[in-house]
Amino acid sequence: MTQPPKIELRIARHSFPIREVGNVETQEFIAIRDVDLSVGAGEFLTIVGPSGCGKTTLLEILAGLTEPTDGSLRIDGIEVHGPSLSRGIVFQQYALLPWRSALSNIEFSLEAKGGLSRRERRERARSVISLIGLEGFEDRYPHELSGGMKQRVAIARSLVYEPDILLMDEPFGALDAQTRELLQEELLTLWRRTGSTIVFITHSIEEAVYLGQRVAVMSSRPGRIKALIDIDLPASSIGEDVRSFPEFAGYRHRIWSLMQGEAARARQRELAVPA
């Protein structure tokens, strides 16, 4: 029997009420429409799109933090409602507890989960510290860590309870270019080791192509999946940068062209709105 996709998301419409200044009546604001998305077990999917297209809202629905207005979310073929420890989420903001060390911040997730002794929590947190490359920084507090190290702690905090699915909302957006590229490579290594299913939101076309096995390109508001592009880059040798390959440039240009068209349509809609 064929296994169902790890994630099946069907959204006919997701909206919320808004009220204009000076108007007592509310109107329906449609953020996402006509999304039909399936993600296979162990897949790395990246999602890119113009600002305001609903990427973060889509991720919140996948995390169970928001219920779609008209739609459904299935995990392993079972319809789910609400958050679950089987789905970890990493935001751009680190949201670390400043009074707890790196190791203690990671343990915090296991405290919330329950069912483990203090020793078991500590051992599991230390194993993830090793996996994420933070050995030697276990006892450092957030103000003693660089931005890249803080993001490693945030990722480790989601990994420590071994989720099947990792949802990431622009986790490297605030980092400098060199640190960002380093963490991209480390994330790919981590994904290959763990076999987790990853859905990764980004504004960067280069990041989307570099990380993703597939790239979902979203349209401008109301957001929908405009295109799903399979990424098939040749293997790189030691010292080679896949970003310099002509195939990489081809994927980047294809996605850039799709997004340029969406940006133009968004500007036209704005100009059509009466002042």
- Asked whether the predicted pLDDT for residue 272 surpasses 80, the reply is no
Least confident range from 4-8, 148-152, 165-169, 260-264: namely: 260-264
- Greater confidence (32 vs 174) lies with 32
Burial 152-174 (b: 16+ CB within 10 A, else e): bbbbbbbbbbebbbbbbbbbbbe
- Residue 37, helix vs strand vs coil: strand
pLDDT (tens digit per residue) in 68-99: 999 999 999 999 999 988 898 888 777 788 99
Domain boundary assignment for the chain: 94-162
| Exposed / middle / buried, residue 210 (Cβ in 10 Å: 0-12, 13-18, 19+) | buried
pTM for the model stands at: 0.87
pLDDT (tens digit per residue) in 154-169: 888 888 888 899 999 9
The beta strands (E) that lie in the chain are given as 7-18, 27-39, 44-48, 70-75, 78-79, 87-90, 165-169, 197-202, 214-218, 225-230
Q: Side chain identity at 43, as an amino acid letter?
A: E
Alpha-carbon gap, residue 55 to 212, rounded angstroms: 16
The pLDDT-based confidence of 225 (bands split at 50, 70, 90) is very high
Which ranges constitute the DSSP H helices of 133-245? 147-159, 177-194, 205-211
The pLDDT-based confidence of 207 (bands split at 50, 70, 90) is very high
Q: Tokens standing for 44?
A: 């790395």
What's the mean per-residue pLDDT of the chain? Answer: 86
* Of 5, 175, 250, nearest in space to 186 by CA: 175
Strand order in the sheet with 78-79: 27-39, 7-18, 70-75, 78-79
- Asked whether the predicted pLDDT for residue 174 surpasses 50, the reply is yes
- Asked whether the predicted pLDDT for residue 274 surpasses 60, the reply is no
Rounded to an integer, the average pLDDT of 96-120 is 84
| Alpha-carbon 8 to chain mean position | 16
Least confident range from 21-30, 178-187, 205-214: namely: 21-30
Burial 93-122 (b: 16+ CB within 10 A, else e): ebebeeeebbbbbbbbbbeeeeeeeeeebb
- Residue 34, helix vs strand vs coil: strand
pLDDT value of position 275? 41
- Asked whether the predicted pLDDT for residue 46 surpasses 90, the reply is yes
pLDDT value of position 78? 93
pLDDT value of position 267? 60
